[in-house]
Amino acid sequence: MAQQDGATRRMHALEHAVDARVLIPGSKSLTNRHLVLAALAEGRSTLQGILASDDCDRLRVALSQLGAVFRREGDSWIVDGVGGKPRGGGTIDLGHGGTPTRFMLAVASLCSEETVVDGSARMRERPVDEGVEMLVELGAKARFFRIAGALPVGMRGPLTGRRIEVHRTASSQFVSALMLIAPAMPNGLEIRFHEPPTSASYLELSIDALRATGVTVGVTRHGVEQRELASITIPPQAIPAHAALVEPDASSAVYFAALAALVGGQIEIPQLELDGRQPDLFFFRDLAARGAEVQALQAGAGGVLIRAPQGARLRGVDSDYSSAPDAAVMAMVLASCADAPSLLTGLETLRVKESDRIASVAAGLRALGGKVDVGPDWVRVHPLPMQCTEAVVQTSQDHRIAMAFGILGCARDGVSVADPMVVEKSWPAFWDALGAATGVR
């Protein structure tokens, strides 16, 4: 499957179908939310299924700096929370973590003493002004140390406001950050949406996480079938000590679902619920529309089974990925192996992720001999030639680029992945799991 030489991993197309059962680590999105909620809770909480990755580990350390105590016991984390009153001061480094950075800007705004939030060179390029402006509108004090709207930024409270009007935002993570700290705000928080929010599916995930801990959340909806968020109201309240079980990560599962579809054979992913709330579960519906068999398993631990005939080609399909932006990277790469062009839309947030993911995917596919048309929030991916041009795909410090092209390299010869260990951001054991699934190390 692969040879690794320093900072490059050379892939080789498989000559056989796959037949494997793959255990996916815990959801990164849910892990980040539950780490914050447990840290802000009153008393002792227990978290199971927490993802061990660079993003989540840095967030846990950052929350520890503000007074929460985390202790590992077997497969669980025991968390002694701060009762809604984190201790400020010092500097917090979140590395490449976009979600942890946005969450910690909000948590730091609960502190009476200034806390400086910083990150990697890439994170210093990613905009945080929207989130900071929302917090300032609610009473926070912010101080930019380098340039306005970018890290590092010093944050402190108090948060005296209770209502905020939200228009179209660049990232739902800013709104989720407000929701997570809302119970600890003196007046609680009412969020009113003037238009459908960006990546609303992630806000639904935050609502579920809050309710799972026992927090009261009021939601009003409008639009077709009353599905669109109109407002979210979270009264001031203590976050109770709680127990949470983090389910497998749909964002990571999409890579092995794509492996079965591209190479042929079958992959079983236990414990993943197709009808769950994780936004990237949309990928499995899209995969079925392209011709793969996607089946929910009921026996045992449940899960999902993905099957495809060896040698079959997927169908070109047009898809809107606005609800599943993280899975869109694998979807774009997968589309390059279809029998016709595919138009993927709803990708506006991909421009400001760990890399400009539209540009990164397009560059990788073009280097392999493919044709990709791009717009500000869409791509049209044309089928790759059966014999790709040999190329080293630059991952631009982006874990999802590395994983997606690693999967492509199991189906097409000529793919090498630069900086393969960037996967440590979300799944440090990804390459080991891929080797076990394919039977080739």
- Which residues have a catalytic role annotated? 326
| CB neighbourhood size of 291 (10 A) | 16
Residues 304, 267: contact at Cβ < 8 Å? no
Residue-wise DSSP of 270-285: ET--TTSS-GGGHHHH
Residue-wise DSSP of 215-242: ---EEEEESGGG-EEEEEEE-S-PPPP-
User: What's the order of all strands across the beta sheet hosting 391-393?
Assistant: 2-5, 8-11, 415-418, 391-393
Surface-to-core class of residue 411, CB atoms within 10 Å of its CB (0-12 exposed, 13-18 middle, 19+ buried): buried
Residues 67, 82: contact at Cβ < 8 Å? yes
Which amino acid, residue 5? D
Surface-to-core class of residue 234, CB atoms within 10 Å of its CB (0-12 exposed, 13-18 middle, 19+ buried): buried
Comparing C-alpha atoms, which of 291, 288, 290, 278 is closest to residue 252? 278
